[in-house]
Amino acid sequence: MLEPLFDAELDYQPGMPPLTSKGDGALVGSGDGAVRGPKLTGTLEWTLFEQAGSTMCAMAPVATITTGDGARIRFEGSDPTWRVAATLCFTTDDSRYSWLDGALALWEGEFNEVTHHARYTAFI
Protein backbone atom coordinates (compact mmCIF):
# COMPACT_ATOMS: atom_id res chain seq x y z
CA MET A 1 0.00 0.00 0.00
CA LEU A 2 1.27 3.46 -0.87
CA GLU A 3 1.77 5.98 1.90
CA PRO A 4 2.13 9.76 1.52
CA LEU A 5 5.77 10.82 1.15
CA PHE A 6 5.38 14.60 0.82
CA ASP A 7 3.19 17.43 -0.45
CA ALA A 8 4.92 19.71 -2.94
CA GLU A 9 4.25 23.35 -3.80
CA LEU A 10 5.94 24.46 -7.04
CA ASP A 11 6.18 27.87 -8.68
CA TYR A 12 7.36 28.62 -12.21
CA GLN A 13 10.22 31.13 -12.25
CA PRO A 14 10.57 32.89 -15.64
CA GLY A 15 14.22 33.11 -16.71
CA MET A 16 15.44 30.46 -14.25
CA PRO A 17 18.04 28.29 -16.01
CA PRO A 18 17.18 24.58 -16.39
CA LEU A 19 18.73 22.06 -13.97
CA THR A 20 19.85 20.05 -17.00
CA SER A 21 19.86 20.47 -20.76
CA LYS A 22 19.25 16.74 -21.21
CA GLY A 23 15.53 16.11 -20.88
CA ASP A 24 12.90 13.98 -22.55
CA GLY A 25 11.06 16.39 -24.86
CA ALA A 26 10.90 20.15 -25.20
CA LEU A 27 12.00 22.39 -22.33
CA VAL A 28 8.93 23.98 -20.72
CA GLY A 29 10.59 25.88 -17.89
CA SER A 30 12.03 25.77 -14.40
CA GLY A 31 11.11 26.88 -10.93
CA ASP A 32 11.35 26.30 -7.22
CA GLY A 33 9.19 25.34 -4.30
CA ALA A 34 9.00 23.26 -1.15
CA VAL A 35 8.20 19.72 -0.03
CA ARG A 36 6.68 18.82 3.34
CA GLY A 37 6.08 15.32 4.65
CA PRO A 38 6.47 13.01 7.62
CA LYS A 39 9.93 11.80 6.50
CA LEU A 40 11.04 14.36 3.93
CA THR A 41 10.91 18.17 4.13
CA GLY A 42 12.92 20.78 2.26
CA THR A 43 13.21 23.10 -0.71
CA LEU A 44 12.83 22.05 -4.32
CA GLU A 45 14.23 23.18 -7.67
CA TRP A 46 12.70 21.72 -10.82
CA THR A 47 12.82 21.72 -14.61
CA LEU A 48 10.02 20.38 -16.79
CA PHE A 49 10.32 18.81 -20.23
CA GLU A 50 7.31 17.53 -22.16
CA GLN A 51 6.24 15.94 -25.41
CA ALA A 52 2.83 17.33 -26.34
CA GLY A 53 0.53 15.25 -28.51
CA SER A 54 -2.98 15.77 -29.81
CA THR A 55 -4.68 13.98 -26.88
CA MET A 56 -1.90 13.52 -24.34
CA CYS A 57 1.22 15.14 -22.98
CA ALA A 58 4.20 13.17 -21.71
CA MET A 59 5.71 15.14 -18.82
CA ALA A 60 9.31 14.57 -17.72
CA PRO A 61 10.18 16.58 -14.61
CA VAL A 62 13.74 16.71 -13.24
CA ALA A 63 14.07 18.00 -9.68
CA THR A 64 16.37 18.26 -6.68
CA ILE A 65 15.16 18.39 -3.08
CA THR A 66 17.48 19.97 -0.53
CA THR A 67 16.43 18.84 2.95
CA GLY A 68 16.64 20.99 6.07
CA ASP A 69 19.67 18.97 7.21
CA GLY A 70 21.52 19.51 3.93
CA ALA A 71 20.92 16.27 1.97
CA ARG A 72 20.37 16.63 -1.79
CA ILE A 73 17.93 14.17 -3.37
CA ARG A 74 17.33 14.16 -7.11
CA PHE A 75 14.33 12.68 -8.90
CA GLU A 76 13.07 12.39 -12.45
CA GLY A 77 9.61 11.46 -13.62
CA SER A 78 7.44 10.85 -16.61
CA ASP A 79 3.72 11.10 -17.27
CA PRO A 80 1.88 9.28 -20.04
CA THR A 81 -1.27 11.45 -20.10
CA TRP A 82 -2.59 14.95 -19.37
CA ARG A 83 -3.46 13.81 -15.86
CA VAL A 84 -0.89 15.31 -13.57
CA ALA A 85 0.75 12.18 -12.20
CA ALA A 86 4.27 10.85 -12.55
CA THR A 87 6.49 7.98 -11.53
CA LEU A 88 9.54 9.17 -9.57
CA CYS A 89 12.90 7.50 -8.94
CA PHE A 90 14.99 8.94 -6.08
CA THR A 91 18.78 8.94 -5.70
CA THR A 92 20.97 10.31 -2.93
CA ASP A 93 24.50 9.77 -1.63
CA ASP A 94 23.49 10.95 1.85
CA SER A 95 23.37 7.94 4.24
CA ARG A 96 20.69 9.65 6.35
CA TYR A 97 18.30 9.17 3.42
CA SER A 98 19.56 5.79 2.16
CA TRP A 99 16.04 4.42 2.71
CA LEU A 100 15.01 6.61 -0.23
CA ASP A 101 17.92 5.77 -2.59
CA GLY A 102 16.61 3.79 -5.56
CA ALA A 103 13.00 4.00 -4.33
CA LEU A 104 10.18 4.35 -6.81
CA ALA A 105 7.31 6.65 -5.92
CA LEU A 106 4.28 8.29 -7.52
CA TRP A 107 3.02 11.82 -7.34
CA GLU A 108 -0.30 13.28 -8.39
CA GLY A 109 -1.79 16.71 -8.35
CA GLU A 110 -2.76 19.68 -10.46
CA PHE A 111 -1.19 22.50 -12.44
CA ASN A 112 -2.84 25.89 -12.88
CA GLU A 113 -1.84 27.33 -16.25
CA VAL A 114 -3.04 30.83 -15.31
CA THR A 115 -1.07 31.20 -12.06
CA HIS A 116 1.84 28.90 -13.07
CA HIS A 117 1.48 27.10 -9.75
CA ALA A 118 1.39 23.34 -9.16
CA ARG A 119 0.43 21.25 -6.15
CA TYR A 120 1.36 17.56 -5.85
CA THR A 121 1.28 14.77 -3.28
CA ALA A 122 4.00 12.12 -3.51
CA PHE A 123 3.46 8.50 -2.42
CA ILE A 124 6.07 5.81 -1.78
Distance, in Å, from the CA atom of 30 to the CA atom of 62, rounded to the nearest integer, reads: 9
pTM (two decimals): 0.67
Task: Give the H/E segment covering residue 6.
Answer: strand 4-12
The type of residue at 124 is: I
- Supply φ then ψ for residue 95, to 5 degrees: -60, -25
CB under 8 Å to 91, separation ≥6 — which residues?
73, 74, 75, 101, 102
Q: Domains in the chain: how many in total? A: 1
Structural domain harbouring 34: 4-123
Dihedral, 121, 67, 64, 101 alpha carbons, nearest 10: -80
The type of residue at 94 is: D
Contact 16, 29 (CB under 8 A): yes
Q: In this structure, what CATH number is given to the domain that contains residue 21?
A: 2.40.160.20
Residues 37-78: pLDDT tens digits?
999 999 999 999 987 776 556 778 899 999 999 999 998 876
Residues 83-111: pLDDT tens digits?
567 788 999 999 999 999 999 898 888 77
Q: Shortest CA distance to 57 belongs to which of 29, 86, 17, 14?
A: 86
